[in-house]
Structures are given as structure tokens and as C-alpha cells.
Amino acid sequence: MASRVGTSNGPDWTDVTRAALDYTRTWNGTVVLLLKPYGTDKKPEMTVEAHLYADQRAVTEAKPLASASVSIRTAPGGGLEAACLGALYELDKQVYRQEMGISPIGG
């Protein structure tokens, strides 16, 4: 974690990128991270979504093979990189559930 010397121990964008690339290779697909802001000016919120597609072309043409999301507050230091890694982790669990034939949580 934290690719540069002198930074915090938390994840940074390179950690997120490496994780997404690793999942892309592992699943032989395309991983997409999507930021969706919502809320109000006084209470901003953001959802980070992670989607798995069969290939790059499918990103705009097809429904994802698997999806997951996490919500974070968008306050300074809100941990966007940690939220992205969290969404990728949730996507990994969703892909595992599908491969094992386990029903999605709440489904």
C-alpha cells in the first residue's frame, strides 16, 4: 500500500489500478470503476461501483457480468482509494458467489 515513500499507509491510486488490472487478468474480462455523486451541497455522498464486463466492447453494449458498490462520504480525506478497493473486493465476492452458484445477498 501507499506506493510512495513518505505517504500514509493507506491505499493510493496505484494500488487501486493494480488491483483492477489483477482482477481483469484473473477473470479474463474488463473491470470498470464508476463514481456516482449524490446527496446535497451540505451533505455530499458518493457511490463507487465496480463492474465486470466480458470485454471492452461490452462496457457500452451489454449488462455487466457482475457488479458491486460501496458508498462513502465525500468529505476531505474521505478515502476514495479505500472505497475503490472496497468496491473491487465486493465485486470479487460477487463473482465468487456466481461461480459457486450461491444466491446474491438479499436475493
The interaxial angle of helices 13-27 and 80-100, nearest 10 deg, is 20
Is residue 83 classed as helix, strand or coil in its secondary structure? Answer: helix
Short-list 37, 33, 18, CA closest to 87: 33
Angstrom distance (rounded) from CA 27 to CA 3 = 25
Q: Compute the average pLDDT of residues 3-31.
A: 85
What confidence category does residue 71 fall into, taking pLDDT thresholds of 50, 70 and 90? confident
CB 56 within 8 A of CB 30: yes
Domain map (residue ranges) of the chain = 29-99
Confidence band, pLDDT 50/70/90 cuts, at residue 90: very high
pTM for the complete prediction? 0.80
Average the pLDDT over 86-98 and give the result: 93
> What percentage of the chain has pLDDT greater than the value 90?
50
Q: What average pLDDT does range 28-48 have in this prediction?
A: 92
Q: Is the pLDDT of residue 68 over 90?
A: yes
Higher pLDDT: 9 or 44? It is: 44
Tell me what pLDDT residue 4 has.
55
pLDDT at 96: 93
What are 43's three cell numbers? 451533505
